[in-house]
Every structure is written in C-alpha cells, then in structure tokens.
C-alpha cells in the first residue's frame, strides 16, 4: 500500500512539472486539493493501523496475564515467559516487523520483571529492566524500577541517574520524587531531599512523603518541622490503614517530643 501512495504522489508531482504553465489557477487548486486528500487518506490509514496494533497489543498482554494466573509458582511463570521470549526472538514473522516485535517483547519483559521481583531476585529484575529500556528508552517506569533497585543495592549515583530520567519523562509522577528524595537523604543531600519531598507532597500529598520529609528534618535536627510532618501522617492515615507505618510514626513522635523537651 505504501508503494502505491509513493507512486501516486510521484505521478502528481511529475504532472505538475510537465504542465504547470497550462493548467491554470483552477487546475492548480484541484491538484493541491487532490494532494491534501491523498495525505489525509495516508494519515487516516496510518492511524487506523496504529489503533488496530494497540488493540492487538492489549489482547496479547491480557492473554499472557491469564496464562500466568494458571501457573502456581513464580518459577513456572518465569520459565513460561522466558520460553515465550525465545519463541518471539526466533519467529520469522516477528523478524519481518522488528518494531512490532519489540513492542511485544516489552510487554513480555514487563511481566517477567514483576515475577523476578516477587521472587526476590533483584539482579534478574535489574537486568530485565535494562532490556526493556533498550527496547523502549522513552518509557519512564523501567527507569523508576531500576533506579529503586539501585537504591536498595546502595548504588546511589546510578539510582539518581535513573530517577532523574524517570522525572524527565514523567514530571508529574510523585513516587519518583519521593524515591529520589530517599536517595538524596541516604547520600546526606538533605536540601535536595527536602525539595523532592516537597514536590511529591504537592503532586500527591501521600503520608509516606510526609513521613520521609519528617525523617529528613529529624536528621537535620529541625525537630519542630519533623514533629509537624509526623503528626500530619497520623492525620492522613485511616484507623486501619498501614498499621506498621502508624506504629513507626507514633514511635518517631515520641522520640522527637523527647528531643524537643531536652532541647528546651
């Protein structure tokens, strides 16, 4: 179909160069109207094909999800996904359309990353995230996930690079600011950590962001500010919501109150 479009366009252009002087104003208008119609048809067909491709991708993703739910262990799920990836890589049909192959592989690798994470295998999860980034460097989430794993491993410089990229691609993602704030806090970049927590709070206002900011204030010995954030966390938590976090915050409040009393 693309060849036909190019052929038609070349005929129109050659016709234009051969008889431009003789066709007159009406002919010129007609010619350009036909060209605009042709371009409109091209964009319509491209958009329709893209929409059909997106539907197929959603169906593929759902089929994989349903197949995984029939397996009872993460190990079996990982084996199924790795076998599927090998099949996609070796399939001649996919080799003829590498763009489509890469989109299918990204979906499959995303499932595999979740499985490895559930298995507690951070290195495999890290490697899968890197493969997803190679296939789709403009997707924010694999950078976010890889950056969070780097942070857990103590590789803070790499974590910052990935979280910076996450925020560049998705500047309204509150969790990315929160996690980058945690990295800055671990590196004792307290002002940078506060700036990230402030942004996370402005975007979402989650109790976790307030708690983390409170911890940073505590490290900076700004106890009144820390106490204010801890109390905000308690206000935002429902009675039965995140009991472990509530316990931690209540303990932190007692510690800070003692610090303030001793300081006074």
Rounded mean pLDDT of the chain? 85
Instruction: Name the residue range of residue 116's domain.
Output: 30-137
Residue 192 within a domain: no
DSSP readout, 26-79? HHHHHHHHHHHHHHHHHHHHHHHHHHHHHHHHHHHHHHHHHHHHT-SSHHHHHH
Mean pLDDT of 143-154: 96
Residue 203 within a domain: no
Tens of pLDDT, residues 205-226: 999 999 999 999 999 999 999 9
Specify the pLDDT at position 227.
97
Alpha-carbon distances of 182 from 149, 204, 261, rounded to whole Å: 12, 16, 28
91: confidence class by pLDDT, cuts 50, 70, 90: confident
Residue 199 within a domain: no
Q: Report how far residue 185's alpha carbon sits from residue 109's, in angstroms, rounded to the nearest whole number.
A: 31
Q: Report how far residue 13's alpha carbon sits from residue 31's, in angstroms, rounded to the nearest whole number.
A: 9
- Give percent above pLDDT 70 in the chain: 80
Please report, in angstroms and rounded to a whole number, the separation of the first and last CA atoms in the chain.
Answer: 81
Question: Which one-letter DSSP state was computed for residue 220?
Answer: T
* Residue 60 near residue 107 (C-beta atoms within 8 A): yes
Q: Report how far residue 181's alpha carbon sits from residue 210's, in angstroms, rounded to the nearest whole number.
A: 11
Residue 120 within a domain: yes
Residue 79 within a domain: yes
pLDDT: is 200 or 37 the higher one? 200
Residue 229 within a domain: no
| Selection from 157, 144, 154, 142 nearest residue 111 by Cα | 142
What is the count of structural domains for the chain? Answer: 1
Tens of pLDDT, residues 31-88: 666 666 665 655 545 455 545 557 788 888 888 888 889 888 999 999 999 999 999 8
Quote the tokens at residue 173: 């993602």
Task: Looking at the chain, list the stretches that DSSP marks H as alpha helix, in order from N- to C-terminal side.
Answer: 2-69, 74-90, 92-96, 98-118, 122-135, 140-152, 156-169, 174-186, 190-203, 207-219, 223-236, 243-263
Tokens 């693309």: give the residue: 2
Provide the whole-model pTM: 0.76
């Amino acid at each position: 179909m693309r060849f036909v479009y190019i052929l038609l366009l070349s005929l129109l252009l050659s016709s234009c160069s051969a008889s431009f002087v003789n066709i007159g104003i009406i002919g010129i208008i007609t010619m350009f109207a036909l060209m605009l119609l042709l371009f409109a048809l091209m964009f319509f067909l491209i958009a329709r094909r893209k929409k059909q491709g997106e539907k197929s991708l959603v169906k593929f993703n759902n089929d994989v999800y349903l197949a995984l739910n029939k397996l009872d262990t993460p190990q079996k799920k990982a084996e199924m996904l790795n076998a599927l990836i090998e099949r996609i890589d070796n399939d001649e049909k996919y080799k003829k359309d590498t763009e489509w192959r890469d989109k299918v592989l990204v979906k499959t690798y995303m499932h595999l990353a979740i499985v490895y994470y559930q298995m507690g295998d951070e290195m495999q999860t890290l490697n899968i995230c890197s493969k997803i980034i190679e296939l789709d460097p403009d997707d924010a989430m694999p950078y976010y996930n890889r950056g969070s794993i780097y942070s857990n491993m103590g590789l803070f410089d790499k974590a910052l690079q990935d979280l910076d990229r996450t925020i560049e691609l998705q500047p309204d993602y509150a969790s990315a600011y929160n996690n980058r704030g945690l990295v800055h806090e671990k590196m004792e970049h307290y002002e940078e950590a506060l700036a990230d927590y402030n942004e996370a709070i402005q975007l979402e206002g989650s109790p976790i962001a307030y708690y983390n900011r409170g911890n940073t204030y505590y490290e900076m010995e700004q106890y009144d500010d820390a106490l204010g954030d801890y109390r905000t966390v308690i206000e935002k938590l429902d009675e039965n919501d995140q009991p472990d976090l509530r316990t931690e915050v209540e303990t932190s409040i007692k510690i800070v109150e003692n610090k303030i009393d001793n300081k006074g």
